[in-house]
């Protein structure tokens, strides 16, 4: 009963602060301070400062701003235009036509971005005008793009996986490897949905304006070569055991600079904008992580995580029931918080439950990312919905409705992961000699 009382107070204070417009990181600090002052004998200031410094000085976190910077550089290059030009000849003959460019484009850009917002913005600016010009239905254009952009959270380098790995002290490189196959499978399910739409409603699929020979398609594909090479270098250096996640991020930044210079888009203005954009995003995430570290400390001193884990254990839930409960929990939480906040806010409580149930933490990281992806497209605080609204000026309700089929596909993907866990565990287990971080 005491644990329920503590949880109620923590949640009330947290949502009170969030509801009044306080930044997520500062709200977490506020809850942590209250918990330490009211329910423990430890001096809140000294304890929080020590823990925050220890958590913030992790070398692993260096990968975070570097990957963000890489995405910012590429966002300001001509990558998006080149990507559409290279993909469209191959996509137009598939069932569903050029709508597939949304999904494949998001999959490719996710491999160099790590952020669903950056993926959505970049691919959206590329594909929405082109698909509208060719007469594709607006609901398919908006829905597939909003849903497929969430792949930026799963396909490495994923910012969410970096944060999760730091929180549960797991190898970032192995988490990145674990996300590759599930990310490709999820992209395949999205493409199957588009193909199914074209079969059910063939009259909505525009006719192909001009057919290209195989040689012409290969010629246009040259525009994809730079970005594919960058992906292979960044991901290959980690999988081959030549670089840690942080070192691979450094390689990615250098590669992004080289790519931008080759395209002629590496101007002084673009450099400064990318640096400032990466700094703002990194600072926001760092503040959230510091607040979550303080809250984890407060929860540890109150004994709340252990008590909640014991309560869940007393329910004798099966592994499947626990995962279903956690899926529902994270979907609801994601309606009010962004993905990174959801992960760092809850790991102190959830990790003991998961380990107690014998669930592999690498696999669970991919499970969490899929569920957090769902939250990106659920109102009222689905972040991708806000980004898409800013791009298209559509009503929030309309955008959310177009993304419902993609949300349901993610639910299906959760069950695929549960029944076929090897999708996430095979690649990490096959890594030999790879640096841990």
Q: How far is CA 267 from the centre of its chain?
A: 29
Threshold 0.85, pTM exceeds: no
Residue with tokens 């991708």: 384
DSSP string, 82-147: HHHHHHHHHHTTSTTTTHHHHHHHHHHHHHHH--HHHHHHHHHHHHHHHHHHTT--HHHHHHHHHH
User: What is the chain's pLDDT, residue by residue, as a tens digit (437 residues)?
Assistant: 555 666 677 777 777 876 777 777 788 788 888 877 777 767 667 667 777 776 666 666 677 788 778 777 877 777 666 777 777 777 777 888 888 888 988 888 777 766 677 677 777 777 888 888 888 899 999 999 988 888 877 887 777 888 888 888 888 888 988 988 999 999 999 999 999 999 999 888 887 766 777 787 787 778 778 878 887 888 778 767 787 777 888 888 898 888 888 877 778 888 898 888 888 877 876 777 777 677 767 766 776 656 665 666 677 778 898 899 888 888 877 766 667 777 877 787 788 888 878 899 999 999 998 988 887 787 766 677 777 877 787 887 888 899 899 999 999 999 999 999 999 999 888 765 444 44
Whose structure tokens read 């009222």?
A: 380
DSSP class per residue in 224-283: GHHHHHHHHHHHHHHHTTS--HHHHHHHHHHHHHHHHHHHT---HHHHHHHHHHHHHHHH
């Amino acid at each position: 009963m005491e644990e329920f009382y503590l949880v109620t107070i923590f949640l009330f204070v947290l949502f009170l602060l969030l509801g009044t417009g306080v930044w997520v990181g500062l709200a977490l600090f506020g809850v942590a301070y209250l918990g330490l002052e009211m329910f423990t004998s430890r001096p809140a200031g000294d304890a929080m400062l020590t823990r925050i410094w220890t958590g913030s000085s992790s070398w692993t976190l260096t990968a975070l701003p570097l990957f963000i910077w890489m995405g910012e550089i590429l966002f300001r290059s001509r990558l998006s235009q080149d990507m559409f030009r290279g993909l469209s000849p191959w996509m137009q003959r598939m069932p569903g036509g050029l709508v597939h460019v949304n999904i494949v484009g998001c999959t490719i850009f996710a491999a160099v971005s790590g952020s669903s917002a950056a993926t959505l913005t970049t691919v959206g600016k590329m594909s929405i005008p082109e698909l509208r010009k060719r007469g594709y239905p607006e609901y398919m254009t908006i829905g597939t793009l909003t849903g497929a952009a969430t792949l930026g959270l799963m396909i490495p380098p994923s910012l969410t996986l970096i944060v999760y790995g730091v929180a549960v002290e797991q190898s970032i490189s192995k988490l990145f490897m674990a996300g590759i196959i599930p990310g490709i499978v999820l992209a395949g399910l999205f493409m199957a949905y588009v193909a199914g739409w074209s079969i059910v409603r063939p009259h909505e699929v525009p006719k192909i304006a001009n057919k290209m020979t195989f040689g012409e398609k290969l010629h246009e594909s040259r525009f994809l070569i730079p970005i594919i090479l960058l992906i292979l270098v960044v991901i290959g250096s980690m999988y081959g055991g030549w670089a840690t996640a942080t070192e691979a991020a450094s390689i990615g930044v250098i590669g992004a600079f080289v790519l931008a210079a080759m395209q002629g888009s590496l101007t002084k203005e673009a450099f400064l904008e990318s640096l400032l954009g990466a700094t703002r995003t990194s600072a926001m995430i760092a503040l959230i992580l510091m607040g979550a570290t303080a809250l984890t400390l407060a929860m540890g001193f109150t004994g709340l995580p252990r008590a909640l884990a014991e309560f869940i254990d007393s329910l004798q839930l099966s592994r499947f029931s626990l995962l279903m409960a956690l899926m529902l929990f994270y979907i609801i939480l994601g309606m009010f918080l962004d993905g990174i906040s959801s992960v760092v806010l809850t790991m102190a409580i959830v990790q003991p439950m998961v380990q107690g149930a014998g669930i592999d933490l690498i696999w669970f990281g991919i499970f969490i990312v899929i569920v957090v992806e769902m939250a990106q497209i659920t109102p009222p605080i689905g972040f991708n919905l806000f980004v898409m609204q800013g791009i298209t000026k559509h009503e929030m309700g309309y955008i959310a409705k177009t993304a419902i089929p993609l949300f349901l596909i993610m639910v299906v993907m959760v069950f695929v992961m549960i029944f076929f866990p090897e999708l996430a565990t095979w690649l990490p287990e096959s890594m030999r000699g790879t640096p841990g971080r």
